[in-house]
Structure 1
Amino acid sequence: MQEAVTLLILLGALLEGEALHLIYLPATANVAENSPPETSVHKFSVNLSVSLAPVSPGFPLVINSSPLTEAFRVNWLSGTDFEVVTTEKEQLDFETGPNIFDLQIYVKDEVGVTDLQILTVQVTDVNEPPQFPGNLAKGLELYIAEGTNPGSIYQVEAFDPEDTSRNIPLSYYLISPSKNFRMSGNGTLFSTTEFDFEAGHSSYHLTVEVRDSGGLKATMALQVNIVNLNDELPRFTSPRQVFMIPEELSPGTIVANITAEDPDDKNFTSHLLYSITTVNNYFMINQLTGTIQVAHRLDRDARELRQNPTISLEVLVKDRPYGGQENHIQITFIVQDINDNPATCTKFTFSIMVTERAAKGTLLLDLNKFCFDDDSEAPNNKFNFTTPSGVGSSSRFLQDPAGSGKIVLIGDLDYENPSNLATGNKYTVIIQVQDITPPHYKNNIYIYILTSPENEFPLVFDRPSYIFDVSEVNPARTRIGQVQATDKDFPQSSIRYSISTGGASLQHPNIFWINPKTGELQLVTKADYETTPTYVLRIQATNSEDTSSVTVTVNILEENDEKPICFPNSYFLAIPVDLKVGTNIQNFKLTCTDLDSSPRSFRYSIDPGNVNSHFTFSPNAGSNVTHLLLASHFDYTGGLDKIWDYKLLVYITDDNLLSGRKKAEALVQTGTVTLSIKVIPHPTTIITTTPRPRITYRIQRENIYSSSAWYVPFVITVGSILLLGLLVSLLILLVKAIHRHCPYKTAKDQKPLVKKGEVKRAKRDAVVEIIQMRSIFDGEAIDPVTGEIYEFNSKTGARKWKDPLTQMPKCKESSPQVTAMQRITAGEGNWPLRTTTKEEDGLSSKAQAEGAGLGPRNEDGKPGTPKHRNPTLTSRASPKPHPGK
């Protein structure tokens, strides 16, 4: 609301034409040069607007000047009256500065109405008196050294501000005349006498006046100070030069006070500086007061003071730290001896070892060899010894003669004496060494007399020998027994036990350990009866005086702790399915050994893996050699047997000892052998057929390596690296020989696999039979039908026929193969295909007959009863539809 009213008032004022403005401006004003601050230059007023709003704080003001200056400002007088005055920030000089200034006066009220006017200020010239430059107008101090010859001292200079060229001469005068000074008209100050600081004034006060041609003048105060010169030697005023002082004064103790004065400055003795020029380690001097104090210990009884107690010093006094007058004085200190050292010894504790059989009257110790007094003069360095004291010592030890410090034995120290044992065979003798002069310093001497025992009794074991038994199955840390030795000497010392000889085995440097403190014998590891049945040890006992040994025999008790070990530990066997019962399988036998059992103690069992108990060992007990037999025939046709690969775990158990100990006392150990047996099916390969003529059998065979025959690729790899060139040559020759003697033949099938009338009804199914052929043939058999010899793989059943004359693998004739493209070319594009590999040549006629729906066939293709299918036929799958359908 207030702002709205203010705005209305402002608008009303503008409409009436009565705005805020400055009265008596613009204007022109004059001001004299070098006017002092706050000199009034021009007064003006402010005509307020109709609103009567007051002038804003800080207004009016000078906002600008031409040329720029800070010599003016606006002061408030009263009400709306103001004036422009000079300031102290800048001096107005008619001769050197500008003479005219245009000042812009700016005013503003609280509602924002403003006005700006120009004030022109003219600087007027004024005739000024002479002036002294700079700070000379405030005064000047001059310094003249005493003894300086009369003459010119200083040239006073002033200037006339009106004379800018400085060509008008000025006149100089001394207002306060003095017989010691005069001044020429050009301002030169002269001294008329030679000054003496000690005899006259130390300073003079003068007033210098300068006048210009118009009679204007100015004055300056001038003070001339006389400088005191150091021209007198300091003089010592202390009367004494020799001082008697006792030794052992505390550091900082004042022992002398050296004083001096300076004729140049008698009232200021603190200006003198004292020092000791002689090199010494005992005294120091206060450089301002001259007091001499003890700096370090004064020991009359040590070092150079013991030889010469006199200390001479030279004291130097200066009246200035550097380049002043100086003087010297010689003083002497005589250090007096006092009884400050007690009688002392190089050692205050003595330990004496005396044998228990020492004779009475034996001199044990002479204290005079160890004790002395450091005081340098008698009687301060004399001492004696007091009577011995101490528990148990009065009846055994004495000084002879009394006070001499010679300790002799007068009693008994035998260890076997019970009264001596009561004191522990350790005696303490206390003797005081004492000064004979005051203050009678004392020191205690402690003498410990120890009785050393003599070895009167030997160290012996409680038995002449030891025999211990330990079983060979006992584990490490088993306690075997304990030996013990004793010594009747007192005091009894600890006995340490150790094995000096014996106890070593092939695997361990020592299989026994003895506790060095208790003598307990333990096993470090298990003992082996079969290796060493008996150990003979030499045990040694040692104390601080003696050593003794004893024989310890350790008998190892035999136990059945060895397992039977058989060869071979694992083996692979392959047998035909129709092997005769009771046959020794591949003449396999086990040969077993046992270090701690009889060859007739073995028993053999097979478990697990012996399904239907087809296998057994003969004999199954009572021999270390046994054979593997077929116990019953295989029945895969009837379904009794289904496993072709047997994993047998054979257990071989021993149940008695070679030594003939009772079985109840012996342990039973069992070894194991792993046998892998592969049953090979009937060698005739039977191709499984289906009555539907629309199915094509595709038999594929893949060669893979058996995981058990890992060594084959290893050998081939190594051989290939070493004999690469030779193998390549042999391979080329072999390929040429096979191509020359065993050419491959191809021919079309003589009969279609299905009838033409049934082609349209045939479904696009196919059976793919994959026969995995392993490249390793580890068995050999005779075909019971054809009588031909073939090799077989015991894991997969794959076969390879051999020539009965040469016993070498036959070269296979290429069987007729029909490809899909050949059938399409022959007009049989939609017929199911029958493909075989070259290894099926001997079976192709049979497979074609069966595939054509003629029923099961024998090897020659004639009707026959189907036999068990080759188990290596692993998979069947339906083929995809022919693209033409």
Structure 2
Amino acid sequence: GLPATTTVEENTPAGVSVYTFNVTVSPLSSEGVTIYPTIINSNPLTKAFDITPVVTTGNPVLDYETMPKSFDLQIFVEDTSGRTDLNTLTVQVQDKNEPPVFQGNMAIQSKIMVRIYFMHWSFYLLTVGREKFHSVATDYFLNITVTDPEGLRSTKTVNINIINTNDERPYFTTKQRIYQIPEEQSPGTVVANITAKDPDDEDFPSRLFYSIQSSETYFSINPLTGVVQVARRIDREALSLRLNPNISVIVRVEDSPSGGQASEMEITIIIEDLNDNPPECNPSTFREERNENTTVGIFLLDLRNFCKDIDVDPPNNLFNFTGLSGFGSNKFALDSMSGRLVMTESIDLENPANLGAEIFSLTVRVQDIAWPNYSSNFIKVWYEQILCTSFSSKFKMLIKYGFFFISAGSSIGKVNARDKDWPPSVITYSIVAGGGTRDYTNIFWINPTEGDVKILARLDYETTQRYLLTVQASDQEKTATVSVTVNVLEVNDEEPVCSPNFYSFQIPVSLAVGTNINGFRIVCQDRDSDPRSFRYFINEGNVNNHFTFSPSAGSNTSRLILASRFDYDSGFDTNWIYRLRVYITDDNLLSARDKTTDLIKTGTVTLSIRIIPNPTTVITTTPGFTLVTKRENLYSESAWYVPFVITLGSLLLFGLLGYLVLLLAKCVCTRCPPACKKMTKLNTVFDGEARDPGNKK
């Protein structure tokens, strides 16, 4: 029944028979066919038909409006004897009147204008006015019916979803504009929590980005949370803040990391003055010389002229004078408010009761009025003229205090003796007692002719605070001695020693802010500093200021605290291992004396912290690779000279060996005994003469 032409209606369901044909097998092929009738090709190409017999498959659906109107199917068959046949079946698709059908996905449309297609007509659904869609309903449902000329109709529901566009600027919800914080807050301290909203996402949590536009660097802001934190040390006594303690910061919020809508707000942070500086006296050590029998009640010194407190605001910068003490302090009086020092008792050095009272060492405490009542000590030394009665000369002592940092060979004072005899004799000086320790026999040396006292070894306040020297003056006939007291002032020459100085631990990424990390505590000691004098700084490795110490100053123990949470999801944090370099200084501004950078000692502690991610966190790593180089010896046909050179070299080597063997054989034969030599055969010939061996004639 092939070739043939048949017809089928459009949209015919799968499995409907289209055409029936027969296959006759050749008598030579008793076993039937090997290849059953098969559609090996179609024009145009389609999978809409199959042979069982020829039926529609339903994939794709025969649509008169969208598919070709006719298909040529080539059908092939072969029997067991190898005979084949190929014929064509033409299938024509007939149009059928159907109701209108909406094309495309009309269930949800996300545009304001919706286009509806039907056959060759086009319909447009337009908005008729502009509305603030974020303040009214955002979903609209429209029932649309379309009818063809023959009365067939179709109805479809259209869902119009209004898309919210980024046309509104975010606004700040934080109303506070002025904040106050004390000075000297550790980095990471929270100053303000700035919040904002985006009208475009009023009912949804939107991602906003915060930044600081000001040029000042005292503060930083978390770009995702808006938390303003202290970024570095804030010293109210610094010149810029002393004149104006108000810091203005411009905070900017954006609804996109680059571009988009943005708003700005100015906040003012007022830095409060703390009583963190003790009063200072410059100089801190005084020297004065008075004659004996000085009038009682005479004004000696106004200490307030030499002392000040650099704190800015009262009562932090107010102080008084207390604690007058030391040898001879009962002979003086001190006004605590004015700092005026007066003598209350006359001193007669010739009076046996005043023996040894030629030098007075007075200690005065200068103390803050405000808490925590920091204080400093300074020493006032009086040098009195001494009248020696052992012989007619005056022995005058001028000695000043020695400090630890005075180098060996430096002069620390001078003695002077005078001889009233005429003509005056030459006076020589010597140290006859004192001035030694267990480790050093002689720490001081005196110039025998000038009386200049010098230091020969290192002075250490922590070992010996005072030296008593006996200096002798001699004119070759008579001698006189005087006691010299050398007080060693304490200076900051020892650095803090902390335990442990290295520590390594792990913490989870979800650790709460404010947690004492692994219960870690650092304990520090310093031989020459008060336990309240320590400060703790994380000088290296504290990326994004996640870590801080509490307390950051004023104690010899401190704990490691998590100051801010980790944020790896947004890319704000990238480090999973933090190596912190912690510096511990012993300044703390508590000691008015020696408040110079070269006298501040620093200890160090190293901390290694590994952040343990959540099990669901994916850590991006860069894949590594190893380059392996493999070398092989491959013979190239173009290198013909290689075997030639090898062969020639082998022949020369064998020839040389043969020659050496020959020489060796000759050498052996020449050195063999006669028995092994080759015998020579002689042919005798009678020459006509004979001799008798017995007859010698």
Compute the TM-score of the two structures, normalised by the length of structure 2: 0.38
Compute the TM-score of the two structures, normalised by the length of structure 1: 0.31
Select the structure with the greater relative contact order (CA < 8 A; seq sep ≥ 6): 2
